[in-house]
Structure 1
Amino acid sequence: MKQKPLPPSELILNEDGSIYHLQLKPENIATTIITVGDPDRVTDVTKHFDSIEFTVHKREFKTQTGSYKGKRFTVVSTGIGTDNIDIVFNELDALVNIDLKTQTIKEKFTQLNFIRIGTSGAIQPDIPIDSYLVSEKAIGFDSLLHFYANTAFLDTNFSEELVKHTHWSPQKSVPYVVSGDALLLNIFKSEEFLKGITATNVGFYGPQGRKLRLALQDEGLNEKLESFRYKNEMITNLEMETSGMYGMAKLLGHRAVSLNAILANRTTGEFSKKPKESIHQLILTTLDLLVHEEF
């Protein structure tokens, strides 16, 4: 049976045929994609490339594709938050799995590999500043995954125990728990990377327990997250994209892993004295580990 084209209101293209927000065409991207939050960090990665074949920048989404030691990579900035992850992952998937000319879904599926190079704050006091952490699981305090069907992969037992432990307010989105991709996680199982469980927040200030001029709904939330244990697992750090990445990757059939440079320890009150150097070293370590992979 012949497919009906997707409506123009659902699959939105620019006048030049590129995908709406990212302004990309299928030939502009590699199947191994490094995501960063900050558009300026894209060039922090690609300055190490042997060559750059394509660059585009629209809104907070900057993309460069090129080669590093003979392997083709795309680096894209997502901006901050899982709402942007929803845009980036859907549009990158559309580039490889939807025929943009006929606006129909392709019969042959193409799998993408997403590697996040980001920054994060630890909540366990023994996690050192300037260490690197790979997120084995993510806990989403956003509501993104609740808008999609087919989420049987979520660890509901874990999230239910967390809700009980924290006395989670029913006015907030119900937390969800999702694992990273086993193949990609295995690449970063080395002494250079701590393993952890990352909590993805919906904001930088109140949602992460920072108090400037506004009172918090739960003054002790970070302490509750720090003390939580489930099957000898603990929450290690806070950031703003990982749960969306892991959830969208699983829904779409892709792989994702999140790498975190620990720049702050929220429990001890420390902050890195060399944040740029820490991120720089994480970028180099990541590229050198990925370049030998066959995917």
Structure 2
Amino acid sequence: MAQNFFAPSELIINDDGSVFHLHLKPKDLADKIILVGDPGRVALVASHFDNVECEVSNREFRTITGTYRKKRITIQSTGIGCDNVDIVLNEMDALANIDFETRKEKEELRQLTFVRIGTCGGLQENTPIGTYVASQKSIGFDGLLNFYAGRNEACDLDFEQQFKSHVNWNPQLGNPYVVDADNELLEKIAEDDMVRGATIACGGFFGPQGRRLRVPLADPQLNEKIESFSYKGLKITNFEMESSAVSGLSKLMGHKALTCCMVIANRLEKEMNPSYKNTIDGLITKVLERI
């Protein structure tokens, strides 16, 4: 980071020494972090822990830090959307790499590992309901990374250009950005039992993912064009709402990140599993064992 001192208006620290939104103190943060959207899923992941050392909750942000098979892990809920991920990753990076007493960046920076466990909609025949998808690339429709310096260096610009050309991208939507997951983490977590593909993180659940209720869509064929796109043999496998911010911000900050999702709806087959909460524990177990 270019700036070495962070004013109270930029880094907000609560009176008890915790960071503003998450209410975590630096000592509460493990190097390995599992991100989930649903605050209720934090307890589900933590039910596998051997012990719990702290539990903190504020708004949609719930945190449990504990130990799983001698690995210290923090589980953090983000709520829905890349805007919330912007809060979570910036505050966690601050907890790791800014001295809260001096408000200065630490001389030795700490690298964190983020694995997001989420749900998604499958877009291909090889992503039926129940499939585990590891996001090799994440495509951000949200525009978040465009506000940060180093955005172009962190992104796959050729993929972006070919994608925009293929779907005839409307510039009013803002520029999509494409970020690779950390390859070492991808190989470690995905192994040979997760589908690898490109994941689109959308800025909403309905219109941005091609769902029409009462308001017509600006481009009713956008999903069809997305499904037919291929880049060097890589297809767009799924929709969700957070992966691009997780991968993008992590890359800019020097951390490792990967998103793994379970498909709960297949948009091609127009099928949905509303009872997915009963089956996502299999994905949770895999990530805990491999992180």
Match of 1:163 in 2: 164
Match of 1:135 in 2: 135
Query: Do the aligned residues in 2 keep the contact of 1:261 with 1:278 (CA within 8 Å)?
Result: no
Match of 2:126 in 1: 126
The letter of the residue matching 1:268 is E
Alignment partner of 1:71 is 2:71: yes
Q: Distance in 1 between matches of 2:117 and 2:111?
A: 20
Alignment of 1:180-199 (within 5 A): 180-199=181-200
Q: Distance in 1 between matches of 2:35 and 2:160?
A: 26
For structure 1, the residue ranges without an aligned partner over 5 or more in a row are 291-295
Match of 1:293 in 2: none
Return the TM-score normalized by structure 1.
Answer: 0.95
Match of 1:242 in 2: 243
The structural deviation recorded for 1:15 is: 1.0
Q: Distance in 2 between matches of 1:250 and 1:20?
A: 23
Alignment partner of 1:46 is 2:21: no
Q: Distance in 1 between matches of 2:273 and 2:257?
A: 27
RMSD between aligned alpha carbons?
1.2
Query: Do the aligned residues in 1 keep the contact of 2:4 with 2:105 (CA within 8 Å)?
Result: no
Q: Which range moves more in the overlay, 188-197 or 152-161?
A: 188-197
The structural deviation recorded for 1:125 is: 2.5
The letter of the residue matching 1:20 is F
Match of 1:221 in 2: 222
Q: 1:221 to 1:16 in 2, by over 3 A?
A: same
Match of 1:86 in 2: 86
For structure 2, the residue ranges without an aligned partner over 5 or more in a row are none
Q: Distance in 2 between matches of 1:236 and 1:248?
A: 22
Identity of aligned residues (%): 49
Match of 2:267 in 1: 266
**1:119 aligned counterpart, secondary structure:** strand
Q: 1:162 to 1:4 in 2, by over 3 A?
A: closer
**1:21 aligned counterpart, secondary structure:** coil
Residues 192-234 of structure 1, C-alpha deviations (whole Å, 9 max, x = no match)? 2111110010000000001111111110111110001122221
**1:234 aligned counterpart, secondary structure:** strand
**2:200 aligned counterpart, secondary structure:** strand
Q: Distance in 1 between matches of 2:27 and 2:191?
A: 34
Residues 230-251 of structure 1, C-alpha deviations (whole Å, 9 max, x = no match)? 2222111000000000000000
Query: Do the aligned residues in 1 keep the contact of 2:145 with 2:245 (CA within 8 Å)?
Result: yes
Q: Distance in 1 between matches of 2:126 and 2:250?
A: 31
Residues 144-191 of structure 1, C-alpha deviations (whole Å, 9 max, x = no match)? 110001121211111111111111111101111100001110112423
